[in-house]
Amino acid sequence: MLWFWLSLLAALIFSALPLMMRIFAVNSTDQRAFSFVFNCYASSFAIILYLIETRGVLTIPNNLSPFQILLIFFAAILYGLYERFNYKARKLVDASTFVILFQLNPVIAFVISVTLLGESYTPAKLTGMLLVVIASILAIYEKGHFKMGKQLFIPLLIIVFLAFANTIDKPASFGIPTGFYNVLVWVPAILIVFIPKISFAAIKIELKTGSWKVALAAILNVISYYIFIKALAIADASKVIPITSTSTVLVVLGGIFLLNERTNLGKKIFAGFLVFIGVLLLI
């Protein structure tokens, strides 16, 4: 039952993080500077976690092909672009809407896998994809029209970045320890967030604004991914993902009741449940 408790813990952290990130983004004056601070904390902890796991022994795989190295390079760029605009997107869209749109990530990854990698598809997966798309449409449809422009463009853009990165992950990480791959793609991504130069004054302001809570969220971010991967190593995805996917519904409810995101209340709850069912069908 260890897989169950790990999955449940991951689901709870997955639920708390988007709410914390929304608060950070709203309070932030420079979202790119804040993302830099957050990712410095997260990358540092990822390195520490990897060293603890390997007992301080750094082992670099020597059987990586040039193509796999190229995939790792592209994955790092995509993750860096995602993080560069992550908090800007979360400032533009409330948490309960963003978490619904975020589930387009597995849909896009599924389409990429089918069209480019030749993976098979089933009627159930196609139905799941349709449900997630319908839920996303519900989330952005308000008062007879769709939310458009920058408010929607940036969130959708980072979801596309993440979907491509997630698709690359499988072939890029083949034969590489999870902790080491995590370090390989996230640490270089900090440079993409930082360039062009972010002023020290902006970084200092974001450090002061977020204080210890930023470090806590960054550590939770790394831990949640780590225990999710551990759960998948113990049990099948068909067991783990239904539990972790409940985080979508929990974030919608948390946004409504904790962050007072009461606009389109009924549609958000309905869309949240549609997404939950859709993700399960995509497994």
List the pLDDT tens digit at each of the 283 positions of the chain.
888 899 899 999 989 999 999 999 999 999 999 999 999 998 888 888 888 878 777 777 777 888 999 999 999 999 999 999 999 999 998 998 898 888 888 888 888 878 877 777 788 888 888 888 888 888 877 665 666 566 788 999 999 998 888 888 878 888 888 778 888 887 888 889 998 889 999 999 998 888 889 999 988 988 888 888 778 778 776 678 778 888 888 898 898 888 888 777 788 888 888 888 888 887 7
> 142 phi and psi, to 5 degrees?
-145, 125
- Measured CA to CA in angstroms, residue 122 lies from 104, 105, 128, 227, 266 at distances of 18, 18, 10, 29, 31
Asked whether the beta carbons of 104 and 132 are under 8 A apart, the reply is: yes
3-state helix, strand, coil in the chain (%, to 5): 80, 0, 20
